[in-house]
Amino acid sequence: MITRKEFLKKSAWLAAGSALPLLGANKLFAASSLAGITILYTNDTHARLDPFPDNAVEFAGLGGIARRASMVNKIRSQEKNVLLLDAGDVFQGTPWFDVYGGSVDLELMTKMNYDAMAIGNHEFDRGTEGFAEAAQKAGFPILASNYQVKDTPMNPFVQRLLVKEFNGFRVGIFGLGIQLDGVVPRDLYGDVRYRDPVAWARGMSNSLRRYHHCDYVICLSHLGYRYSDERIDDLKLAGQVGGIDLIIGGHTHTFLDNPVSVTNPDGKQTLITQMGHGGVRLGRIDLNLSERNSPFGVNSRFYTIGKEI
């Protein structure tokens, strides 16, 4: 394995890119000046900075954060308005985490201009202090609306929501984390308190719509796609909470070739998507905003990293 310094030097030029603009809240959205927004996303990358080995049982030769950065930069060169998001479990899975505890992952994601990530259960694998140490390298918001982190080392690095604005079109983003009890050892999550994700999703959606005047709402969820028991998952969440346009999920390592649509309590459609694990795929959703008062047109696809560079 190459050293951290060598890897960062090798990857930096691939990860270079311009930050997205944040425009004033008083600017009015103009359909003629904003045709669309491209949403790129990952989940459960699990410290897979290098490609999978050529002799791997699955995904041989695929993935790698430098290749992902190249794909992101290529898309940014073609599209003006791009969001780059992650649904959690950036930590744990390779020697990169064993040695550096997630700091290299967050540093490289910052160089790639990620806009936000959710907290996954493996972000607790070195405890709240280990998370806080690594999070100092994150130049983007880390979101978890249903975790109470007050009076823990995580508090300075976690926020509930984020609003991004493009020519007056406002995108609201919030994060949801999984039940910690039974998934994460008690001594690792310490005084972090888990709160009902359905109730907090309703609160975040309402806040983003009514008080932050968002036109589109994204949930970065690390709850999991589907369970056969009563545990809350992305499918149940979409059916119980209105106001969410898109759920970008994680935790269950589910490969969805196309987003799944669920009718929410408002009678509208919530899309659910997830890109497996290991950084093998980069998801893409394009919003057509040419008609603001109509349901936004959506096109989706994914890139298999290592085959499409």
Q: What is the pLDDT of residues 254-282, one digit of tens each?
A: 999 999 999 999 999 999 999 999 999 99
Higher pLDDT, 33 or 271: 271
Higher pLDDT, 295 or 284: 284
- Given pLDDT bands bounded at 50, 70 and 90, which one contains residue 35? confident
- Given pLDDT bands bounded at 50, 70 and 90, which one contains residue 78? very high
d(CA 101, CA 90): 10
Percent of the chain at pLDDT exceeding 70: 87
Backbone phi and psi for residue 137, each to the nearest 5 degrees, phi listed first: -90, -5
Q: Are strands 147-148 and 158-159 parallel, antiparallel or unpaired?
A: unpaired
Residue-averaged pLDDT of the chain: 90
- Given pLDDT bands bounded at 50, 70 and 90, which one contains residue 30? very low
- pLDDT surpassing 60 at residue 5: no
- pLDDT surpassing 50 at residue 28: no
Higher pLDDT, 160 or 4: 160
Residues 6+ apart with CB under 8 A from 7: 49, 104
- Helix ranges, the chain (H): 4-15, 65-78, 95-100, 103-111, 127-135, 186-189, 197-206, 234-240
- Given pLDDT bands bounded at 50, 70 and 90, which one contains residue 298? confident
- Taking alpha carbons only, the member of 276, 270, 275 closest to residue 298 is 270
- Given pLDDT bands bounded at 50, 70 and 90, which one contains residue 123? very high
What pLDDT does residue 26 have? 36
The residues that bridge with 288 in the sheet, in sequence order, are 36, 297
| Residue 275: DSSP 8-state | B
What pLDDT does residue 12 have? 46
CB-CB contact of 251 with 233 (8 Å): no
- pLDDT surpassing 80 at residue 109: yes
- pLDDT surpassing 50 at residue 32: no
Q: Please state the rounded mean pLDDT for residues 5-28.
A: 42
In Å, what is the CA distance from 107 to each residue of 49, 113, 133, 236?
Answer: 12, 10, 12, 34
What pLDDT does residue 296 have? 72
Q: Please state the rounded mean pLDDT for residues 30-43.
A: 80
Domain 36-304 carries which CATH code?
A: 3.60.21.10
The helices-and-strands tally (H runs, E runs) of the chain is 8, 15
CB-CB contact of 214 with 174 (8 Å): no
CB-CB contact of 274 with 285 (8 Å): no
Q: What is the pLDDT of residues 191-217, one digit of tens each?
A: 999 999 999 999 999 999 999 999 999
What pLDDT does residue 14 have? 45
- pLDDT surpassing 70 at residue 8: no
